[in-house]
Structure 1
Amino acid sequence: MVPEGWTLKRVGELFDAQLGKMLNKEAKQKEPQFPYLGNSNVQWGRFDLSDLKTMHFNERELMKFSLIPNDIIMCEGGEVGRCAVWQEIGQNIYYQKALHRLRTKGEILPDFFQAYMESISGTKLLDDYTTRTSIAHLTQEKLLSLPVRLPTLLEQKKIVGILATWDKAITTAEQLLANSQQQKKALMQKLLTGKKRLLDENGERFSGEWKEVRLKELLTEEKSRNRDNKIDRVLSVTNHSGFVLPEDQFSKRVASENVRNYKIVRKGQYGYNPSRLNVGSFARLDSYDNGLLSPMYVVFSVKEGLLCSDYFLNWMSSNEAKQRIVGSTQGSVRDSVGFDALCRLPFKLPLMDEQRKIASVLSISDGEIINLQQKIDALKQEKKALMQQLLTGKSRVKADEEAV
């Protein structure tokens, strides 16, 4: 149903569309080389230009695949429809075939269309226009036939302005989050190396020497198996979310039907996949009392009284730990780090009181980071709900009113 005063259009009626240049062997090697946008450079509402690749464009292609302000660049594959509006003046950057370039014919504001695409992402409407092979694709033919419920330009402008208020709040919160994360990294670098010493409970600065040990003195491998089949919660470990249910990550349960040989991990214990420790897939189980991990995983605990678990968890995410883990994979099969290899890593051990103090200070930083992330998530949910109202016409905005 089209709201009163709106019209139903197809993308092909509203935009000139073009796919980017095909990346081939000649384009990779021939000079001169020019930067181009790929799928990973396009995020919702913004571009990430920190890691641009290059290829050859001839003079005709430089004209054909150049960008002008207000062009929309959209992902053809992967997260189909993900798009942003190009506003980079003076940046000579081009785009490859994995991306659609949409140039408005004048009836639609690019920022309105970007918001519209974001609002239908993951819905049946967009899914019906998506071709699915090994990965999802939004072909040019399907994209051009995609329907758009279109308000007047005046109402579009008002909607874009309202959504921009949420975008600004989200951006501000994300910048604060990035700052807090950087501050924590800097604090970790000082505290976990002993460059900065904290005050003890008497107000005196810790001064004792840190003992040089190997992790084998501080860790115990846990080898319990699910022989009695009493546990059925199968988990995996990711480098971004820690312990997760596979069905949350892959939309379906991917574990074997028979989990009797799976390893048991209990609350407070650690788990990791030996072939992915070098990319940060490591976590402590905090969310559940217990769970199961594939037999390939390593499960271990820290020796209480010698090593503070919170201190160790922070150390494992430090640059020092990451460098030592990467160094330990040299010459190993598939960069694998088994429990024995982990135990051989050198470790500087403060006294328990200092470990706990350091962990307590870093925990305060973690709290700030968690609060900011929750604020960002809430703002995004508010924006999503607002988009569902404004971009469907359920709530109307008029030129002379704020909102109806």
Structure 2
Amino acid sequence: MSINKITPLDTFVSNDAPICYGILKPGDHYEGGIPVIKVKNIIGGVILEDDLLKTTPEIHAQYKRAEVKEGDILLTIRGTTGRVAIVPNSLNGANITQDTARIRVSSNDDSLYIFYALQSFNVQQQITLNTVGQAVKGINIAEVKKLKIYHPILDEQKAIAQILSTWDQAISATEKLLENSQQQKKALMQQLLTGKKRLLDEARSRFNISWEKHRLGIFLKEEKQRNKDNSISRVLSVTNHSGFILPENQFSKRIASDEVSNYKVVRQGQYGYNPSRINVGSFARLDQFENGLLSPMYVVFSIKSENLDSDFFLYWMKSNEAKQRINNSTQGSVRDSVGFDAISSFVLKLPEIQEQRKIAKVLSFADQEIETLQKKLNCLKQEKKALMQQLLTGKRRVKLGELK
């Protein structure tokens, strides 16, 4: 066998345990039986053990050849192809379905290296190119065995796996920090936007003026200006994940009508939403553009009162209380539509304007922390992706003497 060359996956595999798929029909769940790992259980490089089907010992015995042990690699080969995971000690003796391939790496090679190699762009591309079928797409075992993988010596395999594992640890740690920050922000919103927790004012004294109930309509004004003179050409839409966007950025082309004279004008600082999609969070304030156009079906409004802070209101509209009000407003509506009149009818307890601004400032700091962690996470993932492309193809070699 050639070393530091591209070789088939099969050359990495133990001779006494060839690559194979598992049980065709595992049957109904059999309590106390043998765990069966399905495609849906393999997510993000790990096996989710909370919802494993269990089959009878008799069915398992018929597919004893596919029994897995700690360190085996699983590759999904039917339905959703290309997912990869390593079998943990807790699943020793489990089995797999026909939609998954078991790969047992020989002692001459490193399992963790193959785990990363199978996730690389080059190998995933090979899997995609060899995936066939109509109703259920898949790649057969013969093609899995032929997958071409860079084959360095064992020490270099281990070194590459160590480097990529270090990146995974950094990614995992950052994901946990991000999740914690997101949970902390949710808790802050629940406390601050309901008055359960009061902040300190500029004089370092706690806000103590009682919150008062108001109908939102006294603070808001519906904006109905149309683009009659065609002076604005920027057509926007509102999504539940990115707020105001240019449709062509999401759909790769402009999908709006060329005739936009009847479109509604939305200006910076104003709010817009689709009445039929506000219940899924498609609501936003225009911040990134001076102005734009929205389809006539959209609602556009502004804040007309100095007694309602725009940032505070935006956070409130993302709160659980606002979501519940919106969901209640759609009950009995054929199209689950929430018009401006419905929004205006909401009654909420508001603090004085200074406390509103302080609350918004605290939540803004929380957003900044989340954004910083998200950027760090994205950078780590991109760096790992670039490293994989270099290390798992031999374009960049590891100096073994420098690793400990």
TM-score, normalisation: structure 1? 0.81
- Structure 2 CA distance for aligned equivalents of residues 79 and 234 of structure 1: 36
User: Hey, what does 1:356 align to over in structure 2?
Assistant: 357
Deviation at 1:163, TM superposition (A): 0.9
CA deviation string 1:54-96 (max 9, x = no partner): 7674444456476533343445578742333232615898766
User: Hey, what does 2:139 align to over in structure 1?
Assistant: 139
Change (3 A) 1:19 1:236: farther
User: Hey, what does 1:249 align to over in structure 2?
Assistant: 250
Change (3 A) 1:81 1:218: farther
Instruction: Kindly indicate whether the alpha-carbon contact (under 8 Å) linking 2:21 and 2:96 is maintained by their aligned counterparts in 1.
Output: no
Give the partner amino acid of 2:250.
Answer: Q
Bigger shift: 319-328 or 172-181? 319-328
Change (3 A) 1:377 1:105: closer
Deviation at 1:393, TM superposition (A): 0.8
CA deviation string 1:143-182 (max 9, x = no partner): 4443222223322111010111111111111111111111
CA deviation string 1:245-289 (max 9, x = no partner): 444434x22613425144333322223333332232322222333
**Paired residues for 1:176-191 under 5 Å:** 176-191=177-192
- Structure 2 CA distance for aligned equivalents of residues 262 and 209 of structure 1: 42
- Structure 1 CA distance for aligned equivalents of residues 344 and 122 of structure 2: 46
> Structure 2 regions of 5+ residues with no counterpart?
14-18
Change (3 A) 1:173 1:218: same
CA deviation string 1:322-360 (max 9, x = no partner): 222223222222433333333333321211111001101
Deviation at 1:315, TM superposition (A): 1.4
Answer with 1 or 2: which has the greater Rg: 2
Change (3 A) 1:299 1:79: farther
Deviation at 1:390, TM superposition (A): 0.8
CA deviation string 1:79-132 (max 9, x = no partner): 7423332326158987666x5333224265443233224330798655533459
User: Hey, what does 2:170 align to over in structure 1?
Assistant: 169
User: Hey, what does 2:44 align to over in structure 1?
Assistant: 44
Instruction: Kindly indicate whether the alpha-carbon contact (under 8 Å) linking 1:20 and 1:100 is maintained by their aligned counterparts in 2.
Output: no
- Structure 1 CA distance for aligned equivalents of residues 321 and 396 of structure 2: 53
Deviation at 1:369, TM superposition (A): 1.3
Percent of matched pairs sharing the same residue: 47
Instruction: Kindly indicate whether the alpha-carbon contact (under 8 Å) linking 2:72 and 2:104 is maintained by their aligned counterparts in 1.
Output: yes
Change (3 A) 1:356 1:79: farther
Instruction: Kindly indicate whether the alpha-carbon contact (under 8 Å) linking 2:271 and 2:284 is maintained by their aligned counterparts in 1.
Output: yes
- Other structure's SS at 1:333 match: coil
2:101 is the alignment partner of 1:101:
yes
- Structure 2 CA distance for aligned equivalents of residues 211 and 145 of structure 1: 70
**Paired residues for 1:187-266 under 5 Å:** 187-250=188-251, 252-253=252-253, 255-260=255-260, 261-266=262-267
Change (3 A) 1:399 1:145: same
Instruction: Kindly indicate whether the alpha-carbon contact (under 8 Å) linking 1:71 and 1:86 is maintained by their aligned counterparts in 2.
Output: yes
Deviation at 1:48, TM superposition (A): 5.1
User: Hey, what does 2:5 align to over in structure 1?
Assistant: 7
CA deviation string 1:176-195 (max 9, x = no partner): 11111111111111111101
Change (3 A) 1:199 1:230: same
- Other structure's SS at 1:362 match: helix
User: Hey, what does 1:316 align to over in structure 2?
Assistant: 317
- Structure 1 CA distance for aligned equivalents of residues 89 and 327 of structure 2: 38
Bigger shift: 391-400 or 327-336? 327-336
2:149 is the alignment partner of 1:151:
no
- Other structure's SS at 1:89 match: helix
After superposition, the CA RMSD in angstroms is: 3.6
Change (3 A) 1:72 1:256: farther
- Structure 1 CA distance for aligned equivalents of residues 78 and 289 of structure 2: 36
- Other structure's SS at 2:157 match: helix
User: Hey, what does 1:113 align to over in structure 2?
Assistant: 114
> Structure 1 regions of 5+ residues with no counterpart?
none
TM-score, normalisation: structure 2? 0.81
Change (3 A) 1:90 1:22: closer
Give the partner amino acid of 2:256.
Answer: S
